[in-house]
Amino acid sequence: MENMEKLNKKPLRKGDLIQLKIENLDTKGRAYGFYDENKIYTNINAAKDQIVEGIFVKRRHKYELIHCKIIDFAGRKNAIYDDEARQNGGCNYQYYTYEEQLEIKAGHIKKELDRIIKNEYIFEEPVKSPKPEKYRNKMEFSFGNAVKDGPIILGLHKQNSFHDIVEVDGLKLMDDNFNQIYIFCNEFCKKTGFDFYHRLDHKGFFRNLVIRKAEFTKQILVNIITTTEIEETQKREFQEMFKEGLLALKLSDGFEISGILHTFNDNFSDMVISESETILYGERDLMVISESETILYGERDLTEEIFGLKFKISPYSFFQTNSDGVELLYGKVMEYIDNVDENTNECTVFDLFSGTGTIGQIVSKKAKKVYGIELVEEAVRKANENARLNNIDNAEFIAGDVFEKLDELEEKEIKPDIIILDPPRPGVGEKTIMKLLKYDVSNIIYVSCNPKTLVQDLITFQENGYEVVRVCPVDMFPVTPHMEVVSMLRKVRD
Cite the beta strand spans of 271-338 per DSSP E: 276-281, 293-295, 302-306, 309-313
At 361 the three-state DSSP class reads helix
Which residues have CB under 8 Å from 172's CB, separation 6+?
79, 80, 81, 133, 134
Of 309, 409, 408, nearest to 359 by C-alpha is 309
Q: Measured between alpha carbons, how far is 463 from 489 in angstroms, rounded to an integer?
A: 13
Of 69, 83, 77, 50, nearest to 479 by C-alpha is 77
At 123 the three-state DSSP class reads strand
DSSP result, 144-181? EBSSTTPPPEEEEEPTT-SSBEE--TT-TTS-HHHHHH
CB 35 within 8 A of CB 58: no
Q: Residue 37 CB: number of other CB atoms within 10 A?
A: 6
| Residues classed as catalytic | 449
CB 458 within 8 A of CB 450: no
Which residues have CB under 8 Å from 26's CB, separation 6+?
32, 41, 108
Of 210, 301, 217, nearest to 253 by C-alpha is 217
Q: Measured between alpha carbons, how far is 306 from 356 in angstroms, rounded to an integer?
A: 13
Q: Measured between alpha carbons, how far is 295 from 298 in angstroms, rounded to an integer?
A: 9
Of 411, 386, 415, 381, nearest to 398 by C-alpha is 381
Of 231, 280, 234, 240, nearest to 257 by C-alpha is 280
Which residues have CB under 8 Å from 89's CB, separation 6+?
156, 157, 158, 159, 160, 161, 166
SS3 content of the chain, % helix, strand, coil (to 5): 25, 30, 45
